[in-house]
Structure 1
Amino acid sequence: MRNTIKIATTVLAAGALTLGLTACGSDKKSGSGENDPLVIAASPVPHAEILDFVKDNLAEKAGLKLEVREFTDYVTPNTATEDGSVDANYFQNQPYLDDFNKKKGTHIVPVVTVHLEPLGLYSDTAKSVDALEKGGTVGIPNDTVNEARALKLLDANGIITLKKGVGNEATPDDIEKNPKDLEFKELEAAALPRTLEDLDAAVINGNYAIESDLKPSEDALVLESPKDNPYGNFLAVKEGKEKDARVLKLKKLLTSPEVKKFIEDKYKGSVIASF
């Protein structure tokens, strides 16, 4: 039975966070003693589901108390980890974290990579890439790293061609060839599944696709390859907490055979264990 705290967040256009964590009592700093609960910020799917499996099946035997707090955005988990409102988070990949730390001045570091959620291109109308309408509108995430990741996916599958040498900051301005004259609409990653019916197609992050009852391994027109993929999702903490005894216990549990089997059985290829 899930026992999580769900936190809804709102981000203003200027990027200011308006959600006060006081609403759920998380304005208090999380504990640091070995017997205190380890408080973790996580995206609902699959991160919180994986953590709940650990909590319900493995944590007690390992002497670990877990408290999982669900966040629906990609900003608050890091800011809450930085200010000590939570002990750790589990939702992001290395390119995203590098960009976040640089722009926000935070000091979050990875502990262990757990899984990959392949990014996919989805459509309510087209059944294949060839069937995409010429001049159609494709939604892509508007954060720096996921936007570049989406464009790289389209490039890898011959839908567009990016200029040589573009990296994790690629934008539609870096498209060199666009045979179908596609237009790109930049939206918040979490909003893409909800707006898919108004678009010809959209590149959607794996966690948001699964939350919206899409099956990446079946429904995506194209899907990221897991081979040498740098976008594995990991457990992360503020620098200096990597050796926290509770964090080390969770690190071991998250990379256990039991968790690997849970991921394989529950997500059937839509989430891929990275260990």
Structure 2
Amino acid sequence: MTVLYELYNYLATQAAYWYIIGKILLFLLKEPFWQSSLREFGMQVLSFTTFFYSGAQNIHKTRNFECGNPENLKSKCILVGEAKDYVANVTGSSAQKFEEALQWLLNSDKDVGIWLQGEDPSEPVTTVDQVVCLESTRPRMGLGCRFHRALSTAITNLFIFFWSLAILWGILIFLKYRWRKKKEEEEAMYEMVKRIIAVVQGHYKEWEQNLERYPYVGILHVRDTLIPPQDRKKMKRVWERAVDFLASNESRIQTESHRVAGEDMLVWRWTQPSYISDSER
């Protein structure tokens, strides 16, 4: 299995190399190199060949890194020293040729599939001395690897989609719950307003009949009459909204401050005489 794996790596590297060389030749045919001398043209081809031998090795490394990383690589970027040694062993080219190829890539505005990185990958590289490693931007991946990556991407996107859908659904349920609670609170507040009006008006009628000592009634007394002790904490917000509503929107009830039993307290007084109320009915 080891021999087959090494053979596969060798064939993959060679195939990638000759593919790149073919792309180089097609690229050269489009460039105005025909104006240069034959010797200069040959030097350019040699520089390109030297550089892209390292590119073939980098494609193989990037492919392994992207396809499960069976070699336990720490990075898909190959160090410039490793690439230089690889080129020297395979082609016998000098380090100068390798640097000329790097310089050509820095000067070229074409995307040849090799990314030169410095110490900080986010900073652009402008000189050969700044190059730390080389990374392939177009790694050659097998059918199994492509299928695995496509499946992983599809599952990830599907997972994100369902999570987003669940979050939106949760937000919708929460908004619906808040709207329902608000509507219930508003209905409870209006019901409380009706009950308060009935109590204050009834107290005033009893005062007219000399059944009560004062024409007004304490606000806290009304609260204690309408809301049982066990519900006062739960109904606190409804009660406060009802009190505010009466102060702002009910002209028949007047809020006053009186001393009752030696203490100052807020009271409600019914301001509309009973005969007017009876005639309105």
Q: Please give the range of the TM-score, normalised by the shorter of the 2 chains.
A: under 0.3
Higher relative contact order (CA 8 A, sep 6+): 1
Q: TM-score, normalised by structure 2?
A: 0.19
Higher strand share: 1
Q: TM-score, normalised by structure 1?
A: 0.19
Higher helix share: 2
